[in-house]
A and B are shown apart, each in its own frame.
Chain A
Amino acid sequence: MATLDINRVRKAYGNLEVLKEVNISVGDGEFLVLLGPSGCGKSTLLNIIAGLEDITGGEVLIGNRVVNDLPPKDRDIAMVFQSYALYPTMTVRQNIEFGMKIRGIPAEERAKATNAAAEMLQMTGLLDRKPSQLSGGQRQRVAMGRAIVRHPDLFLFDEPLSNLDAKLRVDMRTEIKRLHQRLGTTIVYVTHDQIEAMTLATKVAVMKGGVVQHFGPPQEVYDRPANTYVARFVGSPAMNIIPGWLLASDGVPTVAFDTPQGEAVVRGVPLSAETAHRFAGRDVLVGIRPEHFGLDPSGTVPVGVDVVEPTGPDTLIVFAAGGTEVVARLEPFDAQVGRQERFSVKAEKVVLFDPATETRLD
């Protein structure tokens, strides 16, 4: 078990900079998720932590030890790959034992460790099969078993669930969470799926273009995203970003935006007095999560229903506001396209962004 510190890490291929001054620091036993779209540098960062790619600048510390120049095998890590990376010609048992064999662990201990891992992952019956005889979920289990028997300081997961179907992905997600709870090992997990990030992480680093956009606990990333990019990336449906303005009012920060049905006003958004003063009367971007709308005849947001999408537990209502499309997630009701409704907004959940820099206003 170990802490992980990534200090000012840079990575460039020739003139192409794929990581720019990345700083991340997590404590012992944390579950760090690197979240971002493809090409954001998250896998490169993971490969750098693993030692599979050279570092251009900065340093990586695992357990307070600089590992920049250590080969992967000396970093005390174990990695699970998206393609599982099982050795196809070996049985499951041989796959799990291969690393131990190389490290010269006696056969008796190897068998013991393998059986323990197989039991933990409920795959005792699979040990003598070849990877080609396993389903995707079973292969993923074997890959995890191979990682577990190493007892590493650090687990690295590279999009481990991307190749699984939706149902299995949810099951394996739970499995990984359980594994983390049981072993308590520090984990770095790369994914582009924000739900995986939210459910698994103790810390999330949202990345884009080789830059960490927001690093913090998942709930903070969700509630108070650092900028509009993070706000739109995390959450499904994404956070609505509505162009509006801050009213110069009496101490209670209030925002307003246009809808075709009239002006919408939200009183009491969280904003420091100093920022409220600075932005009084100026344009802001108003970030409202879909679930923070509510159907309310006395609400302050007039709405013309454009689209109704019932999902079962909720009904999604699409309407126009501030020149963009806005999605509200409401309890199911008798929604009719074209009808006028009034919505209220949980003002304390609203996040404001600076239209110039698109960063959050506090």
Chain B
Amino acid sequence: MTDISQSAAVPGTAPQRPAATLSARLARWLPRLVMAPSFLVVLIGVYLFIAWTLWISLSSSAMLPRYDFVGLEQYVRLWNTPRWHTAVINLFLFTGLFLAVTIALGLLMAILLDQNIRAEGVLRTVYLYPMALSFIVTGTAWKWVLNPELGVEKVVQSWGWDTFAFDWITRPETAIYCVVIAAVWQSTGFAMAIFLAGLRGIDSSIIKAAQIEGASLPRIYASIIVPLLRPAFLSVIVLLSYISIKSFDLVLALTNAGPGGSTEMPSTFMFAYTFQRNQMGVGAASAIMMLMTVAAIIIPYLYSELREDTHGH
């Protein structure tokens, strides 16, 4: 191959050679040139600040950054703060409920939508629409809906059911469930869309085969279809976990971490300690804790995804 192309290129092509190598060099460098700005932005905006945050979390920074080294002192302080404990408990409570309810509802809706129903396109859009709203809008809207003076409680009482009470958002022990309700409302359509795509990818003759063998519809879903949705489950779980760990705007708009700090989440905690309470070191430590949690979820996921890719799946 090389012999042939060289001998063919020799007669009369000598003057063109620099141009050819220039364009070859350009072709080699162009992708890197195009990628460079975004690479630079990510490098500085993400990784540099991760490193900086890590450093701050190991320093004695309070209101302003101080570049000394105090070891894990800020982490000790963090874990001795009751408010951080509330935040961690809330995170697990919120993530668990949010994932369970969103996945259950999303899967149910996807299965129902997959039964060859009429106006599927319209319904799909309706369910997916909350995803298009920002969490701020969702939080504000649900703050009104859940407010006993304005929302559901008021409406039901005005219908005549005077004793009806739905005041979860005003009570510290239940307020976190209101955050779950709003988050589920926003994300269920998204889970449904992923599950629906998974369902559409299943060969219908598999279902026919199971029917002929006498399997009931619930059995077909339980034994055959849901196991086939494993990749969809994985995607939904990872994406929702990450949404829930970084959920900040929703809590801020809906409850502002209240009442009485009862809906504090790691993200709101981090924001409050870093920028409002002049304890930058503790805030940075909490940020690093969140990063670790996200990494613990994302890294195995990426690993399994990339490994499957190299196996050609």
Partner of A99, one of B206, B208, B214, B230: B214
List residues 62-84 of chain A with CB under 8 A from any CB of chain B. Answer: 71-73, 77-79, 81-83
Known contacts A87-B224, A89-B224: does B206 contact A73 (CB below 8 Å)? no
* B213 and A98 form a contact (CB under 8 A): yes
* A102 and B211 form a contact (CB under 8 A): no
* Proximity bits, A149-171, B CB within 8 Å = 1, else 0: 01000000010000000000000
CB of B219 within 8 A of chain A?
yes
Minimum CB distance partner of A74 in chain B: B214
Provide the bound-state CA to CA distance between A52 and B223, in Å.
20
* Least distance between B212 CB and chain A CB atoms (Å): 5
21 CB < 8 A contacts A-B: A50-B208, A52-B212, A71-B211, A72-B211, A73-B212, A73-B215, A77-B212, A81-B205, A83-B203, A83-B205, A85-B203, A85-B205, A85-B208, A85-B209, A87-B206, A87-B223, A89-B224, A98-B215, A99-B213, A102-B214, A146-B209
List residues 207-227 of chain B with CB under 8 A from any CB of chain A. Answer: 208-215, 219, 223-224, 227
CB of A88 within 8 A of chain B?
yes
CB of B228 within 8 A of chain A?
yes
* Least distance between A316 CB and chain B CB atoms (Å): 39
* Least distance between B223 CB and chain A CB atoms (Å): 7
* B215 and A102 form a contact (CB under 8 A): yes
- B228: which A residues are within 8 A, CB to CB? 88-89
Minimum CB distance partner of B208 in chain A: A52
Partner of A102, one of B205, B206, B208, B213: B213
Minimum CB distance partner of B202 in chain A: A88
Which A residues are closer than 8 A to B by beta carbons? 50-52, 71-73, 77-79, 81-83, 85-89, 98-99, 102-103, 146, 150, 158
| Chain B interface residue number, banded | 10 to 19
* Proximity bits, B218-250, A CB within 8 Å = 1, else 0: 010001100110100000000000000000000
Known contacts A83-B203, A85-B203, A89-B224: does B209 contact A102 (CB below 8 Å)? no
Provide the bound-state CA to CA distance between A99 and B211, in Å.
9
Most chain B CB atoms below 10 A, which of A82, A87, A146 = A87
Provide the bound-state CA to CA distance between A81 and B205, in Å.
7
What 8 A-B pairs are tightest by C-beta distance, nearest first? A99-B213, A73-B214, A85-B209, A89-B227, A85-B205, A81-B205, A72-B212, A85-B206
User: Is the contact region of chain A dominated by helix, strand, or loop, or is it mixed?
Assistant: loop
* Least distance between B220 CB and chain A CB atoms (Å): 10
Provide the bound-state CA to CA distance between A51 and B213, in Å.
12
Minimum CB distance partner of A75 in chain B: B212
- A71: which B residues are within 8 A, CB to CB? 211
- A81: which B residues are within 8 A, CB to CB? 205, 208-209
* Least distance between A135 CB and chain B CB atoms (Å): 15
Provide the bound-state CA to CA distance between A146 and B107, in Å.
30
- A73: which B residues are within 8 A, CB to CB? 211-215
Provide the bound-state CA to CA distance between A244 and B259, in Å.
98
- B214: which A residues are within 8 A, CB to CB? 73, 99, 102-103
* A78 and B203 form a contact (CB under 8 A): no
* B212 and A102 form a contact (CB under 8 A): no
Provide the bound-state CA to CA distance between A283 and B300, in Å.
79
Most chain B CB atoms below 10 A, which of A83, A86, A89, A146 = A89
Provide the bound-state CA to CA distance between A115 and B11, in Å.
72
Known contacts A85-B203, A99-B214, A102-B214: does B219 contact A79 (CB below 8 Å)? no
* A52 and B227 form a contact (CB under 8 A): no
Most chain B CB atoms below 10 A, which of A77, A88, A158 = A88
List residues 73-91 of chain B with CB under 8 A from any CB of chain A. Answer: none
Provide the bound-state CA to CA distance between A78 and B213, in Å.
7
* B224 and A79 form a contact (CB under 8 A): no
* A98 and B210 form a contact (CB under 8 A): yes
Most chain A CB atoms below 10 A, which of B205, B211, B213 = B213
* Least distance between B300 CB and chain A CB atoms (Å): 21
- A146: which B residues are within 8 A, CB to CB? 209, 213
List residues 169-218 of chain B with CB under 8 A from any CB of chain A. Answer: 203, 205-206, 208-215
* Least distance between A98 CB and chain B CB atoms (Å): 6
Minimum CB distance partner of B207 in chain A: A85
- A103: which B residues are within 8 A, CB to CB? 214
* Least distance between A162 CB and chain B CB atoms (Å): 13
Provide the bound-state CA to CA distance between A181 and B223, in Å.
34
* Least distance between A11 CB and chain B CB atoms (Å): 17
Minimum CB distance partner of A47 in chain B: B208
Provide the bound-state CA to CA distance between A51 and B212, in Å.
8
New A-B pairs, 15, CB < 8 Å, besides A78-B212, A86-B206: A51-B212, A71-B211, A72-B208, A72-B212, A73-B214, A82-B205, A85-B203, A87-B206, A87-B224, A88-B206, A89-B228, A89-B230, A98-B210, A102-B215, A146-B213
- A79: which B residues are within 8 A, CB to CB? 208-209, 212
* B212 and A50 form a contact (CB under 8 A): yes
* Least distance between A148 CB and chain B CB atoms (Å): 13
* A52 and B224 form a contact (CB under 8 A): no
* Least distance between A88 CB and chain B CB atoms (Å): 6
* Least distance between B138 CB and chain A CB atoms (Å): 36
- B224: which A residues are within 8 A, CB to CB? 87, 89
* Least distance between B165 CB and chain A CB atoms (Å): 46
Most chain A CB atoms below 10 A, which of B208, B215, B230 = B208
Minimum CB distance partner of A156 in chain B: B212
Provide the bound-state CA to CA distance between A133 and B205, in Å.
20
Minimum CB distance partner of A88 in chain B: B228
Most chain B CB atoms below 10 A, which of A50, A99, A103, A158 = A99
* A102 and B219 form a contact (CB under 8 A): yes
- A86: which B residues are within 8 A, CB to CB? 206
Partner of B223, one of A51, A88, A98: A98
Provide the bound-state CA to CA distance between A296 and B65, in Å.
106
Provide the bound-state CA to CA distance between A88 and B228, in Å.
7
- A89: which B residues are within 8 A, CB to CB? 224, 227-228, 230
